[in-house]
Amino acid sequence: MMKTSILRFILVLNTLFLAFNLIGAHSSMASDLTKAALIPKPVSIVASAGHFELKANAVIRIEEKSTEMQKVAGYLSGILNPATGFNVQVQAGGDVPSSNCILLVSGAKNDQLGQEGYELTITKEQIKLEANNPEGIFRGIQTIRQLLPARIESRELQQVSWKIPAGTIVDYPAYSYRGSMLDVARHFFGPNDVKRFIDLMAAYKMNILHMHLADDQGWRIEIKSWPALTEIGSTTQVGGGKGGFYTQEVYKDLVQYAADRYITIVPEIDMPGHTNAALASVPELNPDNQPTKLYSGTNVGFSTLQTNKEFTYKFLNDVIRELAAMTPGPWIHVGGDESHVTKKEDYIPFVEKVQEIVLANGKLMIGWDETTLSALKPSTVAQYWSKAENATRGVSKGVKIIMSPAAKAYLDMKYNPKTKLGLHWAGYIEVDTGYKWDPAQLVPGITKENVLGVECPLWSETVTNISEIEFLVFPRLPGYAEIGWTPVTERTWETYKIRLGNQAERFKIMHINYYPSQKVSWK
Ligand code: ACM
């Protein structure tokens, strides 16, 4: 008798405890701001007592009528409204509400914050987000997003108390170039897939989308002076599917969509190798004026432009001129990798001529690391992927380096021998391998001053749709975003893997098809 009532009492206690835990889990708020599982980890977090709670009729208050700030504030309300159902309104000017307010202050004139940094102050009454310009506000909004319970990412109404612990965050990036690359040439991905990719990058404060727009298997961007490039060159892809291309109108819409998220698109036309789609479309690019056959395999290094033909440079000037006109960002990427059938004595002056064409069209050149064989202007950037000696040669020529070491940063490398998608010529890249490196320490002789930033490229030989893209990109991309943003002194795998594990609920709510690596304890 006695025994049963004790047992019953324990059972009731246990149920109460479980229920309490469940309620706790539903609000899923870090108890103290320094415990928030933010990626990238901010430069500095100081906690204070209490919390802010976003409630119905909250206001996003911007300082003055700036169309750019209106847009950024509208982006924030677009994130907050579906899950909260609060119909959060943007208020330009006027009195700052005494509570339930997110105050966005652009024009802070704080040198420490630079172009993209922000300061976030959370009190019981308000969230105040300050930055030198709207770009910094946009990056800070990503932090607010991650501080709110994960269910803020739902597009349906959620019953959650929307609390954020009080304190202050001061934050700015280690590198100004933090990007990913999407190869739309091996397989073509439509504009909605690209926009999804952009949104996922933006959530982790990345600011560059490098689009690999032409390769042996396909030409993906409309060039009005050479319509055959897309009429013929866009019609296939790896495996023989129908491929596709972006009209200039669609491409400009992508550029704007990215710009609205403070992401610059870097367009790449790879040359002189990786050019079969162009060679199949424009007969005069070939030595005998005979077009090559379209190609849907995965070999590399078999095609080349004719470096000694004047026609080649007229053609390239047309392509680069039209591309530059669609590119508000500073860079045009001209590839230059794996030109195995171009003689070295032809390759070197070719790259120099192309560099002139890019500069004459008002843009700066980026090339893969092989381009450092040529004489490069100090404004040119080399992207290290393969040979350290190419990267150090670039540094000795005074150019900056984008760090994309294939064995660490290629998103198309398999996680391990058992994962199906991807390749493994540069090795297997588990989530920890992808995270545990420092762009300023990787190559002897290359220091932080020489490094423009970090990029994780996704080549698309093995991926055919957005779900397959996501499996290779997640959960590795947040790690590259953190390498680019967070000071190396603030980064350890041991703490990162806990913060990454805490992102699982967000990934699920955002319907991200991620690889649930066993290196991470997923929450
Ligand atoms: C490359 O992976 N060929 C740049």
Same domain, 65 and 123: yes
pLDDT confidence band for 65 (50 / 70 / 90): confident
Same domain, 446 and 480: yes
Tell me the pLDDT tens digit for each residue of 451-468. 999 999 999 999 999 999
Q: What is the CATH number of the domain that holds 44?
A: 3.30.379.10
**462 neighbors 422 (Cβ within 8 angstroms):** yes
Q: Give me the pLDDT at residue 8, please.
A: 61
Q: Give me the pLDDT at residue 4, please.
A: 54
**424 neighbors 375 (Cβ within 8 angstroms):** no
- Specify if 328 maps to a domain: yes
Same domain, 210 and 335: yes
User: How remote is the CA of residue 77 from the centroid of ligand 1, in Å?
Assistant: 40
- CA 341, 343, 344, 346 torsion-angle sign: negative
Residue 59 in tokens? 């206001």
Q: Give me the pLDDT at residue 220, please.
A: 98
Q: Is any ligand 1 atom within 6 A of the Cβ of residue 188?
A: no
Tell me the pLDDT tens digit for each residue of 348-386. 999 999 999 999 999 999 999 999 999 999 999 999 999
Same domain, 38 and 114: yes
User: How remote is the CA of residue 280 from the centroid of ligand 1, in Å?
Assistant: 22
Q: What's the Cα-to-Cα distance from 495 to each of 343, 435, 504, rounded to whole Å?
A: 49, 12, 15
pLDDT confidence band for 9 (50 / 70 / 90): low
- Specify if 205 maps to a domain: yes
Spatial separation of the C-alpha atoms in residues 460 and 477, rounded to whole Å: 16
> What's the pTM?
0.94
- Which residue among 108, 139, 171 closes a domain? 171
Same domain, 495 and 383: yes
Nearest CA to ligand 1 atom 4: 337
Q: Is any ligand 1 atom within 6 A of the Cβ of residue 385?
A: yes
Same domain, 415 and 444: yes
Range of the structural domain that residue 71 is part of: 27-171
Same domain, 87 and 192: no
- Which residue among 171, 202, 235 closes a domain? 171
Task: Give the mean model confidence (pLDDT) for residues 247-252.
Answer: 99
**469 neighbors 419 (Cβ within 8 angstroms):** no
Q: Is any ligand 1 atom within 6 A of the Cβ of residue 455?
A: no
**Residue 204 scores a pLDDT above 60:** yes
- Specify if 396 maps to a domain: yes
Same domain, 231 and 335: yes
Atom index in ligand 1 nearest the CA of residue 459 equals 2
Task: Give the mean model confidence (pLDDT) for residues 261-274.
Answer: 99
Same domain, 128 and 209: no
- Specify if 5 maps to a domain: no
Tell me the pLDDT tens digit for each residue of 395-431. 999 999 999 999 999 999 999 999 999 999 999 999 9
Instruction: Provide the domain count of the chain.
Output: 2
pLDDT confidence band for 31 (50 / 70 / 90): confident
Q: What is the CATH number of the domain that holds 278?
A: 3.20.20.80
Atom index in ligand 1 nearest the CA of residue 338 equals 3
Same domain, 203 and 166: no
Same domain, 228 and 160: no
Q: Is any ligand 1 atom within 6 A of the Cβ of residue 337?
A: yes
Spatial separation of the C-alpha atoms in residues 382 and 369, rounded to whole Å: 5
Spatial separation of the C-alpha atoms in residues 453 and 457, rounded to whole Å: 13
- Specify if 14 maps to a domain: no
Tell me the pLDDT tens digit for each residue of 89-148. 999 999 999 999 999 999 999 999 999 999 999 999 999 999 999 999 999 999 999 999
- Specify if 515 maps to a domain: no
Residues designated catalytic:
338
User: How remote is the CA of residue 410 from the centroid of ligand 1, in Å?
Assistant: 9
User: How remote is the CA of residue 13 from the centroid of ligand 1, in Å?
Assistant: 60
Nearest CA to ligand 1 atom 1: 337
End-to-end CA distance of the chain: 41
Task: Provide the angle, in degrees to the nearest 10, between the axes of the packed helices 476-485 and 466-473.
Answer: 50
User: How remote is the CA of residue 336 from the centroid of ligand 1, in Å?
Assistant: 9
pLDDT confidence band for 26 (50 / 70 / 90): very low
Same domain, 345 and 448: yes
Q: Is any ligand 1 atom within 6 A of the Cβ of residue 368?
A: yes
Q: How many CA atoms lie less than 13 Å away from 289 in the CB half-sphere?
A: 2
**Residue 40 scores a pLDDT above 80:** yes
Q: Is any ligand 1 atom within 6 A of the Cβ of residue 338?
A: yes
Atom index in ligand 1 nearest the CA of residue 300 equals 3
- Specify if 519 maps to a domain: no
Nearest CA to ligand 1 atom 2: 385
Spatial separation of the C-alpha atoms in residues 390 and 361, rounded to whole Å: 26
Angle, CA 426 vertex, CA 515 and CA 271 arms, to 5°: 110
pLDDT confidence band for 25 (50 / 70 / 90): very low
Q: Give me the pLDDT at residue 23, please.
A: 41
- Specify if 452 maps to a domain: yes
Q: Give me the pLDDT at residue 64, please.
A: 80
Task: Give the mean model confidence (pLDDT) for residues 215-233.
Answer: 98
Q: Give me the pLDDT at residue 174, please.
A: 98
- Which residue among 137, 171, 205 closes a domain? 171
